[in-house]
Structure 1
Amino acid sequence: MSSPHRRAGTKGVPRERRKQDILGAATEEFGRRGYEAASLAAIAQQVGVTKTLLHQYFGTKQDLYIACLTPIGERLLSAIRTAMTGSRSTADVPLAVLHAVFTALEGSREAWLVLYDNRLPPDSEAARLAVEYRVGIDDLAAAGSADILRAARFTDPLDADALKYAWRGLVTALVNWWIRHPEQSPQAMAERCARLFTSAGMAFGTAHTPGS
């Protein structure tokens, strides 16, 4: 759930606290409206500071976007790696990764939408960095997909590639749903996903094997 941003003003607020308030408001603005439509004036108003102060702290609009993107990109990569290496079996990986993603995003759910904003200025540092983080996450998804399919004795490499893209779409859809349901905790979402996966497996027949 996105945390409310206090209208801090410019007096009596420690610099680091003010910076974090700005980053929180900016992440929400970039996530909900996208980079192009995001308004620095709206971010400043949300926090209770001037645009001038916002520029003094973070520089340009692109600089502020990068300041929002970097921590969530690093946090997601670390969380996903930990979930993948810490899972007891290949079958446990998808739910472990989802739980890790929800936990990493808690308090700033729109950060996922910041990461996957497709309207960043072409050839910009913001676009380059976003792609770098997306590729890192995709590489982890590809490795996990290959392991899952190999365990199920499916060997077509295109299956793993298709599963990677399907996985990204699934996670994005779940995060979007989660944003609309702020009362749902990361644990509640992980438990919901477990139920959905079980139901989907029953519906589509997880016991299918090649040639059956």
Structure 2
Amino acid sequence: MAIPPSRPGTKGVPRAERERQILAAATEEFGHRGYEATSVAAVAARVGVTKTLLHQYFGSKQDLYLACLTPVGDRLLAAVRTAMDADGGTGPQTPLRVLHNVFTALEGQREAWFVLYDTSLPADSEPARRAAHYRAAVDDMAAAGTLDVLGRTGSADPLDADALAHAWRGLATALVRWWIRHPDQTADAMAQRCDRLFAAARGALGPA
């Protein structure tokens, strides 16, 4: 969802509200453009404040990214964990429930997914390390779920589980990217669409 710029030079905005505006604009910029291509000046311009004020609130570009990443990472982890805990992560509806929870967590801020899954983060930087920590936590839960799925098919190959976990992440990323291009689609509508797609895939890939 686009964040309209505030009027430059507005005063009297409570600090908490101004911080919320900055974080919303920065999350969208980082998610849409990536860390490397995002500038503090562009974020400040969208909110209608000076770079100096933004730096006073959040420090450097790296600090601003981390301030965006933490709530995004926490929100997505909680969404996946809640979906997995509903039936121990072993039920046939778990994958759909995970996606539904992810879509719901991202509603109104869909680009936030790509704050966490940003390929432009500088290697060996604090942003890269923090993002990797969150991604690993999500991957661990996905791996547990895929092990159970494969166990029901009789597969015990750990590389199968690893490949399926990577495929799952790629699928979720592709779906979120499609969702961003279709802003009229709600989180519930996306979950229903995934249910239909999964059913079609099972029919196409099932036994002849």
1:40 is aligned to 40
1:129 is aligned to 130
The answer on whether the counterparts of 1:5 and 1:24 sit within 8 Å (CA) in structure 2 is no
Larger mean CA deviation between 189-198 and 12-21 belongs to: 12-21
2:58 is aligned to 58
5 Å-filtered alignment, 1:55-204, equals 55-87=55-87, 90-204=91-205
**Is structure 2 residue 12 aligned with structure 1 residue 16?**
no
In structure 2, distance between residues paired with 1:54 and 1:145 = 43
2:3 is aligned to 4
Which consecutive residues of structure 1, in runs of 5 or more, have no partner in the other structure?
none
The answer on whether the counterparts of 1:66 and 1:126 sit within 8 Å (CA) in structure 2 is yes
Larger mean CA deviation between 81-90 and 67-76 belongs to: 81-90
In structure 2, distance between residues paired with 1:16 and 1:3 = 20
The answer on whether the counterparts of 1:41 and 1:51 sit within 8 Å (CA) in structure 2 is yes
The answer on whether the counterparts of 1:90 and 1:151 sit within 8 Å (CA) in structure 2 is no
Deviation at 1:6, TM superposition (A): 4.5
Q: TM-score, normalised by structure 2?
A: 0.94
Deviation at 1:10, TM superposition (A): 3.8
The answer on whether the counterparts of 1:40 and 1:61 sit within 8 Å (CA) in structure 2 is yes
- Displaced runs of 4 or more, over 4 A: none
Structure 1 SS opposite 2:95? helix
In structure 2, distance between residues paired with 1:5 and 1:23 = 13
Deviation at 1:187, TM superposition (A): 0.4
The answer on whether the counterparts of 1:6 and 1:21 sit within 8 Å (CA) in structure 2 is no
In structure 1, distance between residues paired with 2:101 and 2:93 = 12
Deviation at 1:12, TM superposition (A): 2.0
After superposition, the Cα gap between the structure-2 partners of 1:10 and 1:55, relative to the gap in structure 1 and judged at 3 Å, is: farther
CA displacement 1:7-52 (0-9 Å, x = unmatched): 1544121111110110010011111111111021111111111111
CA displacement 1:85-110 (0-9 Å, x = unmatched): 11485211100000011011111111
Give the letter for the 1:167 counterpart: W
Give the letter for the 1:145 counterpart: T
In structure 2, distance between residues paired with 1:151 and 1:5 = 49
Which consecutive residues of structure 2, in runs of 5 or more, have no partner in the other structure?
none
Deviation at 1:190, TM superposition (A): 0.3
